[in-house]
């Protein structure tokens, strides 16, 4: 049986208490939040831990739409016991979490986007630009929705156009790194992007290899062109909603899954007060409240609505994400969820790690360094990399610029 691991438990493990902001940072020697008692190591995850061949592991790298030190924008990393790895969404700030968790770029080459909002895509610039200079020497595969086909939609608003523009946007960066070897002789180049567009209004197959099946289905979010994903492997299943209003597609597709990861938002009055600093009755309150209500009406799932969805789908574990987990938001959210659903449920913050097998679901908080370096890269055999585009590191610099460089013999005569 899955056990409920609340944010209070996670902060107690870190020794920070509910007001702490550094969940997931190094926790060696920390107590239970009161200064007494040892850390329960059974609830801690240390990167590099082997994954059993029959397990799925889900690591939460970003769990908010609002960039925060403790919660960056949206992304989860899914590892399977057969060696497959998948990234779902890649919002701003999450690259640091992947580095801290020891995930090399070579294991981040399949990225599934639920939609093209910045809080789900912004760090694609980082993984695209710096992956090939690390150990991702093959193309970056990006799966995402087609453009919408409604009266306000245009053909260049889908994933393929997005990827094409990303390559154009970062052309200077790409060329500046092309004095190093960035590709394989037999498998393209790390600076290639292969876009796989998925029809946003259909239930269809996004990926089917190595006994892994990933299905996409419609989401209802902001404008036409959003999707959710369902991953199935080895008798295990996971659904990742992305952003969406509560909808029946989700109830149909997520029924009986092992893990349902679904967005949830605070009530509009909380959203308005937190994001504006204005309180009810003060000047500007109604404007702030109206804006929060409009955003939520167009795009998001309220707390009670998620409780209802969980009651209709009955996952082995329900997980809320996209939610700002504070000491004064978690309790009311749990009460709203429990008004509909009594099963296992967790509100995710960054660096929550969930191991899923047929017999158990284990939740832990990752212990990571605050100042991590890149993890050990994948090694390539001799002769497997193709030649660099440019022959020397200074090939693209004008001689006049080079003539103004300070000779090393001046500052380092040894």
Strand order in the sheet with 227-233: 204-209, 212-218, 227-233, 236-240, 259-263, 317-321, 345-347
How crowded is the C-beta side of 247, counted as CA atoms within 13 Å? 22
Domains of the chain with CATH codes: 7-35+47-265+300-411 (3.60.15.10)
Is residue 101 packed enough to be buried (19+ CB in 10 Å), middle (13-18) or exposed (0-12)? buried
Model pTM?
Answer: 0.91
Q: Has residue 4 got a pLDDT over 90?
A: no
Per-residue pLDDT tens over the stretch 341-358: 999 999 999 999 999 999
Q: Pairing between strand 259-263 and 236-240?
A: parallel
CA distance readout (Å), 285 to 288, 295, 311 = 5, 16, 34
Spell out the residues 6+ positions from residue 345 whose beta carbon is closer than 8 angstroms to its own: 4, 310, 317, 318, 319, 320, 334, 337
Per-residue pLDDT tens over the stretch 224-272: 999 999 999 999 999 999 999 999 999 999 999 999 999 999 999 999 9
Q: Has residue 14 got a pLDDT over 70?
A: no
Radius of gyration of the chain (CA): 23
Give kind and range of the element (H or E) at residue 144: strand 140-145
Per-residue pLDDT tens over the stretch 97-154: 999 999 999 999 999 999 999 999 999 999 999 999 999 999 999 999 999 999 999 9
CB–CB of 33/16 below 8 Å? yes
pLDDT of residue 38: 58
Per-residue pLDDT tens over the stretch 25-54: 322 222 333 334 555 788 999 999 999 999
CB–CB of 124/166 below 8 Å? yes
Q: Has residue 209 got a pLDDT over 70?
A: yes
Per-residue pLDDT tens over the stretch 265-310: 999 999 999 999 999 989 999 999 999 999 999 999 999 999 999 9
Q: Has residue 155 got a pLDDT over 80?
A: yes
Share of the chain above pLDDT 90, in %: 88
Please state, rounded to an integer, the average pLDDT across all residues of the chain: 91
Give kind and range of the element (H or E) at residue 259: strand 259-263
């Amino acid at each position: 049986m899955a056990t409920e691991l609340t944010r209070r438990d996670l902060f107690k493990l870190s020794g920070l208490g509910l007001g702490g902001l550094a969940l997931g940072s190094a926790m060696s020697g920390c107590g239970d939040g009161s200064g007494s008692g040892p850390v329960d190591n059974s609830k801690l995850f240390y990167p590099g831990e082997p994954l059993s061949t029959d397990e799925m592991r889900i690591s939460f790298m970003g769990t908010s739409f609002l960039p925060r030190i403790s919660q960056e924008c949206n992304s989860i990393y899914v590892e399977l016991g057969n060696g497959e790895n998948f990234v779902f969404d890649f919002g701003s700030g999450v690259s640091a979490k992947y580095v801290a968790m020891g995930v090399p770029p070579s294991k981040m080459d399949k990225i599934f986007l639920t939609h093209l909002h910045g809080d789900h895509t912004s760090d694609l610039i980082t993984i695209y630009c710096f992956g090939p200079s690390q150990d991702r020497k093959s193309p970056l595969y990006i799966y995402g929705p087609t453009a919408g086909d409604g009266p306000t939609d245009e053909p260049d608003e889908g994933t393929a156009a997005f990827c094409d523009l990303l390559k154009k946007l970062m052309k200077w960066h790409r060329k500046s790194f092309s004095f190093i070897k960035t590709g394989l002789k037999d498998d393209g180049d790390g600076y290639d992007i292969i876009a796989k567009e998925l029809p946003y209004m259909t239930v269809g197959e996004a990926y089917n290899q190595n006994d892994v099946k990933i299905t996409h289905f419609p989401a209802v979010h902001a404008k036409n062109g959003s999707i959710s994903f369902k991953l199935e492997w080895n008798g295990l299943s996971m659904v990742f909603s992305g952003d969406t209003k509560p909808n029946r597609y989700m109830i149909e597709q997520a029924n009986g899954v092992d893990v349902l990861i679904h967005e949830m938002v605070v009530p509009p009055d909380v959203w308005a007060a937190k994001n504006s600093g204005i309180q009810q009755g003060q000047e500007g309150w109604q404007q702030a409240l109206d804006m929060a209500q409009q955003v939520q009406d167009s795009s998001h799932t309220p707390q009670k609505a998620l409780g209802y969805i969980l009651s209709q789908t009955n996952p082995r574990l329900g997980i809320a994400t996209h939610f700002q987990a504070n000491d004064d938001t978690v309790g009311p959210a749990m009460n709203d969820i429990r008004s509909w659903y009594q099963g296992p449920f967790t509100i995710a913050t960054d660096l929550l790690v969930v191991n899923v097998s047929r017999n158990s679901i284990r939740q832990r908080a990752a212990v990571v360094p605050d100042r991590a370096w890149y993890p050990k890269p994948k090694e390539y055999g001799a002769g497997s990399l193709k030649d660099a585009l440019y022959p020397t590191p200074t090939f693209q610099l004008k001689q006049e610029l080079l003539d103004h460089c300070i000779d090393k013999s001046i500052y380092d005569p040894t």
